[in-house]
Structure formats: structure tokens, C-alpha cells
Amino acid sequence: MELLLAVTVGWLYACGLYLLLRRTLAQVVIGLALLTNGTNLLIFVAAGLVRGEPPLIGDGEEVLAAGTADPLPQALILTAIVIGFAIQAFAMALAYRVYRSVGSDDIDALTTTEPPPPPVAVQTAEGDA
């Protein structure tokens, strides 16, 4: 099972990074989501898999029994899931705003830090004369 999940983690990374290298904004955001899941799964698998033994202290016991899953990586991942969601939400809102402001979802179109100035009537030499 570890092998299977390790390959899954690798594949999530590969797909996420491939999307991160795209030019379309939405693809980059999807890539971010895949990377988040991949990283959480990486911590989970690397900490060691234990089937069906959650880190709960049983009734009448005072300390965690041996053989249960490691609680620390779970606490880390729990935090990471929430933060990951916050980042994705923000990235999506940002992508939407960029698209509305620039009018394109092509990252290569983002070449200026400010929107182009409104068109100004061009003065010609004839106009001056």
C-alpha cells in the first residue's frame, strides 16, 4: 500500500507541477489544488501507515496505546488542509480579478503592473496649425 500511495503522491506532484508550468491562469490554480493534496498525502504516508487505529485514548486508559497512528503528522496535516483551502480561495479570487482587470487569462499577457492608460486623443501637427 505504501508503494501505491507513494506513486499517487508522485503523480499528484507531477500533474500539479505540470499545470503550474501552464500559461492559463485557471490551470495554475487547479495545479495548486493538486499540489496541496499531494503534499498533505506525502506527510501522511511518510509518517507511516497504520490501518484503522486512530490516535484516541481508549476508555479507562490514561495514555495512548502502542500501535495507534501517529497523532503529530495528523495535527500538522489538519492545519495544512485549512491553510491550503485559504490559499486556493485567495488564488481563485485573484485569478478572477486579474481576468476581469486585464481581460485575458493568459499569464504572458500580464506584462505591466498597471492597467493601460485610457486612450487620449492624439494631437497631430495639423491640429496645432
Partner 1 sequence: MGLVVAIAAVFLAVPLALLLPARRWRGLLLAAVPAGVFAYFVSLLDRAAEGRPLTWSAEWFPSLGVELALRADGLALLFGLLIAGIGAFILVYAEAYMAGKPGAGRLEATLLAFMGAMLGVVFADDVITLFVAWELTSVTSFLLISFEQEKLKARKAAVQALLVTGAGGLALLAGLVVLGQAAGTYRISAMSAEAVAGSSLATGALVLVLLGAFTKSAQVPFHFWLPGAMAAPTPVSAYLHSATMVKAGVYLLARLHPVLGELEGWRPAVVSVGAATLAVGAFVAVHERDLKRILAFTTVGALGFLTMLLGLGTELAIKAAMVFVVGHALYKGALFMAAGAIDHGTGTRMVDELGGLRRAMPWTFAVVAAGSVGLAGFGPVLAFIGKEAALEAGLEDGGAAGGWALAAIVASGALFTAAAVVLLRPFFGAERAPGHPHEGSAGLLAGPLALGALSIGLALAPGVIEGRLIAPAAAAVAGEPVKVSLKLWHGFNTALGLSALSVGGGVLLGLGVRRLTAPTGRLMGARWFPSGPKVYDWLYYGMQRLARFHTVWVQRGYLRGYIAVVLLTFVGLAWAALVRWGGSIERDWLTPAFYEAAVAATIVAGATTAIVHMSRLAAVTALGAVGFGVAIVYALFGAPDLALTQIVMETLTVMLFVLVFYRLPKLVDRGPMRRRLRDGAIALAVGVTMTVLVLASLGHQQGQPISSYFGETAYLEAFGKNVVNVILVDFRALDTLGEIVVLGTAAFGVFALLRVRRWSR
Q: Are 91 and 9 in contact (CB under 8 A)?
A: no
End-to-end Cα spacing for the chain? 83
Of 91, 95, 87, the closest CA to residue 36 belongs to 87
Is residue 127 within the footprint of partner 1 (CB under 8 A)?
no
Q: Which is nearer to partner 1, 114 or 126 (CB)?
A: 114
Of 19, 56, 50, the closest CA to residue 37 belongs to 19
Binding residue for partner 1, selected from 112, 113, 115, 127, defined by CB under 8 A: 115
Instruction: For the segment 16-35, give every residue that binds partner 1 (CB under 8 A).
Output: 16-27, 30, 33-34
Is residue 86 within the footprint of partner 1 (CB under 8 A)?
yes
Q: C-beta of 121: minimal distance to partner 1 in Å?
A: 17
